[in-house]
Structure 1
Amino acid sequence: MIIPMLQALYDPRSMLPLPTDSAFYEQAKEDIAFFGISSQVYYLLKKRGQLDQTPLFFRTWLEQSYTEALYLNLFIERQMHQILSLFEEQGIEVIPLKGVLLAERYFGHVGARATSDIDLLIHPSDLERAVNWIKSLGFILEQERIPSHFHISYSKPLPNSPIPLTIELHWDLLKERTANLNINEFWEEARPLEPYKHIKELSSYHTFYLICLHGWRHNLDSLKYFIDMIQMIHVLQDELDYSIFLKNAASHKTLKRITRTIAIVYHYFPHLTRIKEFPVKSTRLWWEYEAVRQQNDRTLKQYVNWIYYELFDFDSMKHTLWAMVGLISR
């Protein structure tokens, strides 16, 4: 139900009026809440001047959901800059990942993409110092560490909230021994984030790379990962050079992960070909919306998708074997 709506909102050639059937919006409301994309849908409708074409009950709910997410984003933004300022004082280099920075840079507003935590990339050599400093800010609840993983998480309780605020400290973007990704390349092309000296932000190219890998890591189990990629393709357009991107992915041994993930997004949102053609054509995608939306609806195709994700989305037998080891040890 929600995919056709998103297709219409993102397709620049689509000027069709929105449906008027209230049953459509009841289902759309359920889908939007399920995927946690109320902020994105609200902002797209408002940007296209179509918010007033929706029924009052839907519009009221969407505005309320957006406002709640906006206040949370503003709170998280203040917390993030408090952490960044502390790291700046201590000379610890940091790159914020996704979150409110992504919303501002590529969605156009801090409230246009909801977030719930803070993700930071740091150098492995700074990990111990970084942990000590975030603990000094009250992030004292450590989540269980996962062997071979690439980040650790700490949380702190929030007043009048059952959900704590979590910060993830990353030193890489993929599990150990499952790729040849060189995280130093991301650092080398990062640019300073004003007004800081030691705080940086990823280049547009590496931000898109991160978003693709992030979507793959979650097996595209939410439309929010689709929207992140679609939004960046719309914004970057010709700035995004797929030939260089795929060449580097082949070198990093992430090519299968990247190509299948992008191919799935292009399959469900074919208008993207008019904006930026993706040179890899793939017919074995396996991903199904129904299996993601209806979690109890498991088909053979969805099981094949899971097997591909767990074992066959790797560029070398060595990386596949390490993925199998990680799967068995869970």
Structure 2
Amino acid sequence: MNPTLLQILYDSHIGLPNDSAYYWGLLDDIEKSNVHAQTYTIMKQGGRLEATPAFYQQILKEKFQRVLFQNILIKNQTNQILNDFEKSGIDIIPLKGTAFAEQHFGHLGSRPTSDIDLLIMPTDMDRAIDIVKSLGYIEERKPIPFHFHRSYSKVLPGSSIPLTVELHWDILKQTTANFYVEEIWEEALSIKDSLYIKKISDFHLFYMICLHGWRHNMESLKYFIDIIQLISTLNIDYIRLMEDTKRHKTRKRIIRTLSIVYQQLPTLHLLNKFPYEIPTSYGHRNFPLKKYVDFIDYSFLSYDSPKHSMVELYHWLHPKY
């Protein structure tokens, strides 16, 4: 059996096939999840890219260069926003984005970024909105009830896709968790000489990335790669993670997410053993009712509290509320 993309990227003991058809198939998987830049960067850093066919290398390199160009533009826009927040004395934490690519994948072009996610304090929302609007971003859509961000966008020169800024005051719906965003602020560190621009702690970054993958039901390889990259480069304290998720009523979500990741790449246990793994049906692609079982499990059974499950069911049945 030929190795999966995740095995190629993260298991150095896996040999690289010589069959060209395998790499065309691999490119199909990469295209579906838009992970060309991540694949190019990780394989190149691991010294494995040169052992692949020339067409495979060329396609990945071209896609990587496009991502790099896009991220240069987004980084420039991000810096403008952050500088204005600093001047206005407003605390702010960039979430993911180009900084995530640089710090945890090793290159500005190593991971595509489509928007700018920023965490601010609820009391600063009005001033934050004024800043992004002053930079040409207009409101994209009305706020979604029970959600935790406001979105604004503008079209950049040379780009047909608007750039969106999301101003977050939380990272989870409070109606389905007991998460305390204040804990993120307490452990955030100032960036360089900034007084107001903060960096999320590695622990909370990993927590957030896992929740982000869960929120999208791990439907793309990009969520796997984000989580695996952090497991590979950070020493995550799983005991603390489980203690925090128990308090926050997010334990089932995190265990479900990491169980799926470890199931797809068991060698991760050699880096950081995850002792809370539970069986999932994720890998059984031929299971007749798999997609329905997964939907029910993800949508309504991933909550620690029956009350939170009922709230989510109500929101699903009444999407306007």
- TM-score normalised over the length of structure 2: 0.95
Among 311, 317, 320, the residue aligned to 1:322: 311
Return the offset for 1:146: 1.0
Aligned to 1:115: 113
Which residue number corresponds to residue 272 of structure 2?
276
Q: CA deviation at 1:160?
A: 3.2
SS of aligned partner of 1:169: strand
CA gap of 1:72–1:289, structure 2 versus 1, over 3 A, is: farther
SS at match of 1:168: strand
Tell me which residue corresponds to 1:96.
Answer: 94
Deviation at 1:115, TM superposition (A): 1.0
Residue 21 of structure 2 is aligned to residue 7 of structure 1: no
User: Is residue 2:282 matched to residue 1:287?
Assistant: yes
**Conserved? CA contact 1:2–1:28, under 8 Å:** no
Do the aligned partners of 2:264 and 2:283 also contact (CA within 8 Å) in 1? Answer: no
* DSSP-derived class of the 1:152 partner: strand
2:171 equivalent among 173, 176, 185: 173
Q: CA deviation at 1:111?
A: 1.4
Asked whether the equivalents of residues 93 and 122 of structure 1 are also in contact (C-alpha less than 8 Å), the reply is yes
1:251 to 244, 247, 270: 247
CA distance in 2, matches of 1:141, 1:326: 24
What secondary structure does 1:266 align onto?
Answer: helix
Q: Residues 264 and 324 of structure 1: is their aligned pair in 2 closer, same or farther, counting only changes over 3 Å? A: same
Q: Could you tell me which residue of structure 2 aligns to residue 224 of structure 1?
A: 222
SS of alignment partner, residue 145 of structure 1 = coil
In the alignment, which of 221, 238, 243 is matched to residue 242 of structure 1?
Answer: 238
C-alpha separation between the residues in 2 aligned to 1:195 and 1:104?
19
Match of 1:155 among 149, 153, 156: 153
CA–CA separation in structure 2 for the residues paired with 1:42 and 1:178: 38
What's the counterpart of residue 295 of structure 1?
none
Provide the rounded CA distance (Å) in 2 between the counterparts of 1:3 and 1:264. Answer: 17
Q: Which of residues 297, 304, 315 in structure 2 aligns to 1:308?
A: 297
Deviates most, 310-319 or 20-29? 20-29
Runs of 4+ off more than 4 Å: 288-291
Unaligned runs of 5+ residues in structure 2 are none
Unaligned 5+ segments in structure 1 are: 292-297
Q: How many residue pairs end up in the alignment?
A: 319
Distance 1:3 1:189, change over 3 A: farther
Q: TM-score, normalised by structure 1?
A: 0.93
Instruction: After TM superposition, give the deviation of residue 299 of structure 1 in Å.
Output: 4.3
| Mean Cα deviation higher: 262-271 or 45-54 | 45-54
Q: Which amino acid aligns with 1:66?
A: F
In the TM superposition, residue 106 of structure 1 has moved relative to its aligned partner by 1.3
Q: Output the CA distance in 1 between the equivalents of 2:193 and 2:262.
A: 37
Secondary structure of the equivalent of 2:166?
strand
In structure 1, what is the Cα distance between the partners aligned to 2:309 and 2:89? 38
Contact 1:156/1:166 (CA < 8 Å) preserved in 2? Answer: yes
Aligned equivalents of 2:258 and 2:33: distance in 1?
19
Residues 39-118 of structure 1 correspond to what in structure 2 (within 5 A)? 39-118=37-116
Deviation at 1:4, TM superposition (A): 1.4
Residue type at the aligned position of 2:216: H
The percentage of counterpart residues that share the same residue type is 46
Aligned Cα RMSD in Å? 1.7
Instruction: Please point out which of 25, 28, 45 is paired with 2:26.
Output: 28
What amino acid maps onto 1:270 in structure 2? P
User: Which residue of structure 2 aligns with residue 186 of structure 1?
Assistant: 184
- Provide, for residues 262-281 of structure 1, a one-character-per-residue CA deviation record: whole Å limited to 9, x for no partner: 01000000000011000113
- TM superposition shift of 1:222: 0.6
- Aligned residues of 2:85 and 2:92 also touching (Cα < 8 A): yes
